[in-house]
Amino acid sequence: MKKTSTRLADGRELMYFDARDDVVRDAPDLRPLEATTTASEIRYDPLLDEWVVIASHRQGRIYHPPANECPLCPSRDGRLSEIPAADYDVAVFENRFPSLTMAAAAATASTVLPGGSERLGADGLALTRPGVGRCEVVCFTSNHDASFADLTPQQVGLVLDAWTDRTAELSALPGVEQVFCFENRGAEIGVTLGHPHGQIYAYPFVTPRTERMLAAAAAHRRRTGRNLFDDLLAAERATQGTPGDRVVIAGEHWTAFVPHAAHWPYEVHLYPNRRVGDLLALNDAERAEFCTVYLDLLRRFDLLFDTPGNRTPYIAAWHQSPVGSAPGSGSELALHMELFTIRRTVGKLKFLAGSESGMDVFINDVSPETAAQRLREVSP
């Protein structure tokens, strides 16, 4: 893998990840761009003990452009895009409309706390911090009409290299506490650009979801002396061949299963069989098998429903340990991917209505065992 770092016309970083070492990436960004401006801040919710990102400048971001104006396609035939090269393997760049940025200005109209970064309102509750962090866009391929499931294992390996590289570099940025790699696919999910791409967020806090998992793991450790994720994976693998079988794919190095208490109609968790804390800790064999297992899983998702082009809308989310956690198998949180769709059947979506949005209590219309059986049946 060869990585080339350059700058766009407004100063944002752009990185090319190429499979060949002899590729030269020197095409300049010829667009007359002004420097980006952001108004990002994070505000503390004392009722839920969590941070909320306020990024009002994102209202003006690009929304469903026609294919011939896609900003993620290569720059060709006189049309300039976010990627100056006429072709690319994998490209990663700083989002022009980021929710978080290392250049975030300090919040105003409040009292500065000791240390200078946090500000507290006169009521003593309205805690605000600059929205410091980083948001990047990951373009999986230059082919606008492809999807992740269309990639070859070698192309997936290059994307995995990019995710790993960005996890390492973003984790080293001052103030970053967690790195989140993810993909949203489909207009039903809320995707505004049709080109196959994902994103990476570098948060200035540990996310609420991760905090809850870590708290559950700590409680399990106190009760049993064992790791929660190890026990969970072992329990799911033990269902194989039983009436309650929830395993979809059982590889030498990875296991994909529908969790016992799945929130979504079709939800699969993908774990390495050896517990590691983040992408950096995967070995060569694990990295190689991931490429084939993940493609198998995505292609099964695409066969679930009779949708246009057989492309099921989904979210794919990597869960990694917070920055500074114990490396390798010493991490209490296990690296894993959670893949799920909001589609529950043909022509019907799972909406987050009163119970889910109002109380965080999910109601699933598809039993996990039925979902797992269906995913095993639709083998590509």
Q: Which residues are catalytic?
A: 197
Q: What 3-state DSSP class applies to 161?
A: helix
Instruction: Kindly report each contact of residues 305-309 with a partner whose C-beta sits within 8 Å and lies 24 or more positions away, as own/partner.
Output: 305/343, 305/345, 305/346, 306/346, 307/343, 307/346
Residue with tokens 């009722």: 47
Contact 289, 254 (CB under 8 A): yes
CB-based burial of residue 284 (10 Å sphere; 0-12 exposed, 13-18 middle, 19+ buried)?
Answer: exposed
* Closest to 97 (Cα-Cα) out of 207, 204, 199: 199
Contact 55, 36 (CB under 8 A): no
* Helix residue ranges per DSSP H, the chain: 153-171, 208-224, 228-237, 284-302, 359, 368-377
Q: What 3-state DSSP class applies to 90?
A: strand
R_g of the chain computed on alpha carbons: 21
**Residues paired with residue 8 on neighbouring β-strands, in sequence order:** none
For the chain, the farthest-separated pair of C-alpha atoms sits apart, in whole angstroms, at 64
CB-based burial of residue 316 (10 Å sphere; 0-12 exposed, 13-18 middle, 19+ buried)?
Answer: buried
SS3 readout for 253-290: CEEEECCCCCCCCEEEEEEECCCCCCHHHCCHHHHHHH
One-character DSSP codes across 4-25 = EEEE-TTS-EEEEEESSTT---
